[in-house]
Structure 1
Amino acid sequence: MSAPDPFDTRNPPVPARGSPLRPLPKLIFASRWLQLPLYLGLIVAQAVYVVHFLVELLHLVEAAFGNKDALQALITSIGYKTTAPVGTLNETVIMLVVLALIDVVMISNLLIMVIVGGYETFVSRMDLEGHRDQPEWLSHVNASVLKVKLATAIIGISSIHLLKTFINADNYTDRVLIAQTVIHIAFLFSAMAIAYTDKLMASNAPRGDGH
């Protein structure tokens, strides 16, 4: 019986099973499971955001039908202040509430990326290959990709907060407006720096010669 051809792609050789880890490396490697309660805690936080979203949405619908208590709850929630009393749901309040709901959704997306991507990258594989509901971004996720995606998500959240502030600018001082703008610009430059660094690392990575 001839030895298997290592270059035969039709019947690739089966890799030998690695030797068992020594106790100390095994303990260190198993310590990654200490992150599991952190991700479970983020799932609980995700549930809290869902409840908050539904409550705000319910208040918006009730206020649209003339419920004064719901309207007051919305005004308090978004921090809207005006010299004239707000008796009905107006365009500014609706816009601020919708932006707040979008903010919740974007933070929820950020949580999903951290929970799923972080678990897949740092704890254990989820074996989602071939699953019809596998997120597209998860198929090529790694620590570098996750950093860029998180930075992009944070920029989106910061943009929503900044837009809410400018819509409700009468209730903020110039110092707050300038500070939020500077912070947003800092997020932009940070994301660009992360993306550029990852690009440099990818370009300097060794490549196969194709032979």
Structure 2
Amino acid sequence: MLEKAVEGLLFRSRWLMAPFYVGLIVALLVLLFKFGHELLHFVTHAVAASESDIILGVLTLVDLTFTGNLVLIVIFSGYENFVSKINAADHPDWPDWMTKVDFSGLKQKLLASIVAISAIALLKAFMNMDAGADTTHIMWLVIIH
């Protein structure tokens, strides 16, 4: 009797994760706002920008896009794996991975996204290097990547 009650409580406690995923949706909206801000800045300054400024602007937009993708992967996979199943049959236009990523697959997708984001940050740092660049900072970026 007590065992069933404890198991039931443990099973229902998974719903405590739902607000975390709602919070990540809010974070995704903040990323969208930042993306729009960066895009507006990129477009309005494109005529006077140098080639390296254009490349850095594009890298910033790609970086924000990858980060948004990472948040989406965590939202869908985490919800599906830990809270409740999502019925994809009602949504034939959804990507296949959305309801088929197990915890191991989630870790692989997260690692791949983090490596891509890190590579973009490293490339941006290399492009911003000048004579007075902080070589220690660059060294740590390379080591971490």
TM-score by length of 2: 0.91
Q: Which residue of 2 aligns with 1:141?
A: 101
Q: Which deviations, in whole Å up to 9, do the C-alpha atoms of 1:151-209 show, x marking residues without a partner? A: 0110000010010011111263111111111100xxxxxxxxxxxxxxxxxxxxxxxxx
Which of the numbers 169, 172, 179 marks the counterpart of 2:133? 172
Gaps of 5+ in 2: none
Identity fraction in percent: 42
Which of the numbers 30, 48, 53 marks the counterpart of 1:93? 53
Q: Which residue of 2 aligns with 1:69?
A: none
Whole-angstrom CA distance in 2 between matches of 1:64 and 1:95:
11
Q: 1:174 to 1:37 in 2, by over 3 A?
A: same
Which of the numbers 32, 35, 46 marks the counterpart of 1:64? 46
Structure 1 runs of 4+ off > 6 angstroms? none
Q: Which residue of 1 aligns with 2:7?
A: 25
Equivalent position SS for 2:45: helix
Equivalent position SS for 1:64: coil
Which of the numbers 104, 109, 119 marks the counterpart of 1:159? 119
Post-superposition offset of 1:138: 2.5
TM-score by length of 1: 0.64
Q: Which residue of 2 aligns with 1:108?
A: 68
When you count helix as a share of all residues, which structure comes out higher? 2
Q: Which residue of 2 aligns with 1:37?
A: 19
Post-superposition offset of 1:130: 6.0
Alignment length (residue pairs) = 142
Residues 86 and 99, structure 2, Cα contact 8 Å, conserved in 1: no
Residues 77 and 99, structure 2, Cα contact 8 Å, conserved in 1: no
Residues 46 and 54, structure 2, Cα contact 8 Å, conserved in 1: no
Which of the numbers 74, 77, 84 marks the counterpart of 1:117? 77
The CA RMSD measured in Å over matched residues stands at: 1.6
Gaps of 5+ in 1: 1-20, 66-87, 185-211
- 1:179 counterpart letter in structure 2: W
